[in-house]
Amino acid sequence: MISRVRAADLLPLAVLSMRGRPLRAALSTLGIAIGIAAIVGVLGITRSSQADLLARIDRLGTNLLTVADGHSVGGEEVPLPEHAATGIARTGGVRRVTATAGLARVAVFRTDRIPAYRTGGIDVRATDPSLLGTLDGQVATGVFLNEATSRYPVVVLGHDAATQLGIDRVDAGTRVWLGGHWFTVAGVLQPFELAPEIDRAALIGRPVAAEYFGFDGHPTRLYVRTDTARTALVAGMLARAANPAEPSSVLVSRPSDALASRLLVADSVTALLLGLGAIALLVGGVGIANVMVISVLERRTEIGLRRALGAARRHIAVQFLSESLLLSLLGGAAGAALGAVATYAVATSRGWETLVPMTGVWAGLTAAFVIGTAAGLYPALRAARLNPTDALRTS
Amino acid sequence: MSDVVLRLENAGRAYPGTPPVESLRGVDLTVRAGELVAVAGPSGSGKTTLLNLAAGLDRPTSGTIRLAGQAIDGLSDRRLSGLRAYALGVVFQQFFLMDHRSAVDNVADGLLYRAVPANERRRAAADALDRVGLAHRAGHPAGRLSGGERQRVAIARALVGRPALILADEPTGNLDSAGGAQILTLLRDLHADGVTLIVITHDATVAAACPRRVDLHDGRIVADTGRPT
Q: What is the pLDDT of residues B95-126, one digit of tens each?
A: 999 998 999 999 999 999 999 999 999 999 99
If you average pLDDT over residues A33-39, what whole number do you get? Answer: 88
Per-residue pLDDT reduced to its tens digit, B66-105? 998 889 888 999 999 999 999 999 999 899 999 989 999 9
What's the number of domains chain B is made of?
A: 1
B50 neighbors B4 (Cβ within 8 angstroms) = no
A101 strand-pairing partners = A126
In Å, how far is A331's CA from the nearest CA of chain B? 25
Residue B67 lies in a domain: yes
Q: Does the predicted model carry a pTM greater than 0.90?
A: no
Beta strands in chain A (DSSP E): 64-71, 77-78, 94-102, 108-109, 123-127, 139-142, 154-157, 175-178, 181-189, 201-205, 221-226, 250-253
Residue A111 lies in a domain: yes
Residue A187 lies in a domain: yes
Residue A1 lies in a domain: no
**Distance between the two ends of chain A, CA-based, in angstroms?**
29
CB < 8 Å to A304, chain B: 96
Amino acid sitting at position B59: R
Residues A194 and A287 in one domain: no
Residues A212 and A80 in one domain: yes
What is the residue range of B51's domain?
A: 4-224
CB < 8 Å to B57, chain A: 307-308, 388-389, 392
Residues A250 and A264 in one domain: no
Residue-by-residue DSSP string for A323-339: HHHHHHHHHHHHHHHHH
Cβ of B81 within 8 Å of Cβ of A312? The answer is yes
Mention every residue, 6+ apart, whose C-beta is less than 8 A from residue A377. Answer: A321
Residues A34 and A116 in one domain: no
Rounded to the nearest integer, the mean pLDDT of chain A is 88
If you average pLDDT over residues B137-150, what whole number do you get? Answer: 93
B161 neighbors B89 (Cβ within 8 angstroms) = yes
Residue B211 preceded by cis peptide, ω within 30: no
* Residue B228 predicted with pLDDT over 60: no
Dist. CA B107–CA B116, nearest whole Å: 13
What is the residue range of A282's domain?
A: 8-58+260-393
Residues A97 and A36 in one domain: no
* Residue A333 predicted with pLDDT over 70: yes
Residue A2 lies in a domain: no
* Residue A75 predicted with pLDDT over 90: no
Using H for helix, E for strand and C for coil, what is the string for A280-302?
HHHHHHHHHHHHHHHHHHHCHHH
Task: Please report the pLDDT score of residue B1 as a whole number.
Answer: 44
Per-residue pLDDT reduced to its tens digit, B168-179? 999 998 888 888
Is B223 in the A-facing interface, judged by CB distances under 8 Å?
no
CB < 8 Å to A12, chain B: 118
Cβ of B78 within 8 Å of Cβ of A2? The answer is yes
Q: Of A216, A240, A255, which residue is a domain's last?
A: A255
Residue A3 lies in a domain: no
3-state helix, strand, coil in chain A (%, to 5): 60, 15, 25
The strand pair at A94-102 and A123-127 is best described as: antiparallel
Task: Please report the pLDDT score of residue A392 as a whole number.
Answer: 86
B199 neighbors B210 (Cβ within 8 angstroms) = yes
Residues A271 and A161 in one domain: no
Cβ of A1 within 8 Å of Cβ of B83? The answer is yes
Name the more confident of A54 and A322: A322
Q: Of A216, A238, A255, which residue is a domain's last?
A: A255
What's the number of domains chain A is made of?
A: 2
Least confident of A61-70, A157-166, A206-215, B123-132: A61-70
Dist. CA A254–CA A281, nearest whole Å: 42
Dist. CA A369–CA A306, nearest whole Å: 26
Complex ipTM more than 0.95, yes or no: no
Beta strands in B16-101 (DSSP E): 21-32, 36-40, 62-67, 70-71, 88-91
Q: Write phi, then psi, for A128 (nearest 5 degrees).
A: -110, 160
Q: At what angle do helices B77-87 and A313-350 cross, to 10 degrees?
A: 100
CB < 8 Å to A3, chain B: 78-79, 81-82, 84-85, 113-114
Task: Please report the pLDDT score of residue B227 as a whole number.
Answer: 62
What radius of gyration, in Å, describes the C-alpha atoms of chain A? Answer: 34
Q: Of A255, A281, A296, which residue is a domain's last?
A: A255
Least confident of A50-59, A249-258, B80-89, B213-222: A50-59
Name the more confident of A363 and A75: A363
Task: Give percent of chain A above pLDDT 70.
Answer: 99
CB pairs under 8 A between A and B: 97
Task: Please report the pLDDT score of residue A104 as a whole number.
Answer: 86
Output the domain CATH number for residue B157: 3.40.50.300
Residue B229 lies in a domain: no
Residue B197 lies in a domain: yes
Closest CB to B82 among A6, A310, A388: A310
Q: Reduced to 3 states, what is the DSSP secondary structure of residue A15?
A: helix
Residues A196 and A249 in one domain: yes
Residues A205 and A92 in one domain: yes
Task: Read off the pLDDT band of B229 (50, 70, 90).
Answer: very low
Task: Read off the pLDDT band of A49 (50, 70, 90).
Answer: confident
Task: Please report the pLDDT score of residue A287 as a whole number.
Answer: 87
Per-residue pLDDT reduced to its tens digit, A121-177? 899 999 999 999 998 889 999 999 999 999 999 999 999 999 999 998 888 888 999
Residues A184 and A80 in one domain: yes
Residues A264 and A229 in one domain: no
Torsion of CA A224, A229, A231, A234, to 10 degrees: -100
CB < 8 Å to A9, chain B: 112, 118
Residue A337 lies in a domain: yes
Is B98 in the A-facing interface, judged by CB distances under 8 Å?
yes
Dist. CA B7–CA B89, nearest whole Å: 17
The strand pair at B36-40 and B212-217 is best described as: parallel
Residues A45 and A118 in one domain: no
Amino acid sitting at position A300: R
Is B102 in the A-facing interface, judged by CB distances under 8 Å?
no
If you average pLDDT over residues A178-205, what whole number do you get? Answer: 92
Task: Please report the pLDDT score of residue A394 as a whole number.
Answer: 59
Closest CB to B96 among A1, A301, A389: A301
Per-residue pLDDT reduced to its tens digit, A304-316? 999 999 999 999 9
Per-residue pLDDT reduced to its tens digit, A285-299? 888 888 888 888 888
Residues A234 and A335 in one domain: no
If you average pLDDT over residues A17-24, what whole number do you get? Answer: 83
Cβ of B113 within 8 Å of Cβ of A3? The answer is yes
Task: Read off the pLDDT band of A53 (50, 70, 90).
Answer: confident
